[in-house]
Amino acid sequence: MTNEQQNADQFEAFLLGEVSLVGDDARFARQLIELSQQTHPAELFIAELGTQLMAESQGVSSQPNHNHNHNNNHNHHHTYLRRGLGAAAALTLVMFGFLITPAGRGLAQAAWDFFTRSESDEGVITVFVPPENPGSAAAAPTPQPPVDTLDEVRPVVYAQDGATIPAAFEPTNTSERPDYAVYLPKAVPQGYQVDRVEFHMLNPMTVVEYVCGSNTAFFLTQLAIGVQAYLDDPAYRREVGASADVVEVDVMGVIGQYVRGDWVPVEPVNEEDIPEGGTLDVETVWNNDADYHHLSWYADGMLFRIYTSHVSTVEEPECELGMADFVAFANQLTPIE
């Protein structure tokens, strides 16, 4: 070991309080540490930023790779994540304001809008490029090959304390949340397989990803939420363009809504211009032909959503699904007893 390394190790031991050092370097280091300890953000700043983040969180809901800030401004604002972050990122939904209360089908039929229509077809997307996460490759779960049925899937299950439960999927074994029943399909669309399941016990929510080919997927999510909580929080409603065609459909005995279309950047996004952890605002326009589908409905105290990945099926036409396919899929969902 070199003298320089020895000195550096000794200096680190000093910083850790394991040894004492004298001299100007040590004295200066103490001054730096003292300065650091005296450097605080103002409490008012902490509170104001906290309030600002809270306000933004109320205006955000999420689709895979596409988070939306909901407001009624002409120039609405969206966020989506760089493609290719993987299924885990795509699966996680940002949802807020969970208040579990009983809910009835009749009320859902009468009052529910699942989309917010923007005042125009123009908007802004904020592209976010997450920083590299060193070591994440080692920590990431081993990918599983797609399978035909849920019985063969080993899901990610989050317990109430947030810990991951390494257990096979047991849809009836939600003993921590007896108010929550998992709905599963009797069959999946031809060409599709189950790729991943997440179950969150804290705010009961199931997310199932179905994949087809190499690049096509859709997601089924099922969130337990009370009627009032849903109505009070616009974050649960996806913002669509002024020209979007919102179609009412019959699903599980209630009225759901279906929209095809997406916010598309006016100019191609050059992600190389964005540093890791940075963001870039991009102008977008609503496109009714974009290959993004979203079906929502509320039944049995659950908000159900089916939505596709933001990847066109042009290159995989055998994977293409439309409104009728998604409605048919939704209508054969059955609670697991």
Partner 1 sequence: MNQVFAGQPPEHLAELADDVLARQAAAYREAFAALYHRHIRSVYRYILARSGHVPDAQDITAATFTAAFKGIETYRGGDKFLAWLLGIARGQIAMHYRRKKNTLSLDAVEHIAHPAAPPESIVEERLRIEAVAEALKTLNPDRAEAVALRLFAGLETNEIALAMGRSEGAVRVLVHRGVQDLRKQLGRKSDHD
- Cα gap 282→127, rounded to integer Å: 7
Report in angstroms how near the CB of residue 139 gets to partner 1 at its nearest. Answer: 3
Tell me the number of residues near partner 1 by CB under 8 A. 77
- Cα gap 157→112, rounded to integer Å: 30
Nearer to partner 1, 6 or 332 (CB): 6
Q: Does 77 bind partner 1 (CB under 8 A)?
A: no
User: Residues near 86 by Cβ (< 8 Å), separated by ≥ 6?
Assistant: 140
Report in angstroms how near the CB of residue 103 gets to partner 1 at its nearest. Answer: 19
Nearer to partner 1, 17 or 106 (CB): 17
Report in angstroms how near the CB of residue 306 gets to partner 1 at its nearest. Answer: 18
Q: Where does residue 328 fall: left (phi above 0), alpha (psi -120 to 50 degrees), or beta otherwise?
A: alpha
Nearer to partner 1, 84 or 106 (CB): 84
Report in angstroms how near the CB of residue 185 gets to partner 1 at its nearest. Answer: 23
- 299's tokens: 């039944």
Binders in 117-176 for partner 1, by CB under 8 A: 126, 128-136, 138-140, 158, 161-164
Q: State how beta strands 76-81 and 262-265 pair.
A: unpaired
Binders in 179-198 for partner 1, by CB under 8 A: none
Which stretch, 53-61, 110-118, 183-191, 308-316, contacts partner 1 (CB under 8 A)? 53-61
Question: Sign of dihedral through CA atoms 154, 129, 286, 108?
Answer: positive
- Cα gap 259→114, rounded to integer Å: 10
Stretch (H or E) spanning 217:
strand 216-224
Nearer to partner 1, 88 or 266 (CB): 88
Chosen residue from 66, 77, 196, 200 binding partner 1 by CB under 8 A: 200
Binding mask 275-314 for partner 1 (x = CB under 8 A): xxxxx-----------------------------------
Report in angstroms how near the CB of residue 174 gets to partner 1 at its nearest. Answer: 16
Binders in 221-280 for partner 1, by CB under 8 A: 274-279
Binders in 5-44 for partner 1, by CB under 8 A: 5, 7-9, 11-12, 15, 23-25, 28-29, 31-36, 39-41
Report in angstroms how near the CB of residue 98 gets to partner 1 at its nearest. Answer: 7
Report in angstroms how near the CB of residue 177 gets to partner 1 at its nearest. Answer: 14
- Cα gap 94→117, rounded to integer Å: 20
User: Residues near 282 by Cβ (< 8 Å), separated by ≥ 6?
Assistant: 124, 125, 126, 127, 265, 266, 267, 269
Beta bridge partners of 126: 79, 281
DSSP assignment string, 240-256: E-TT---EEEEETTEEE
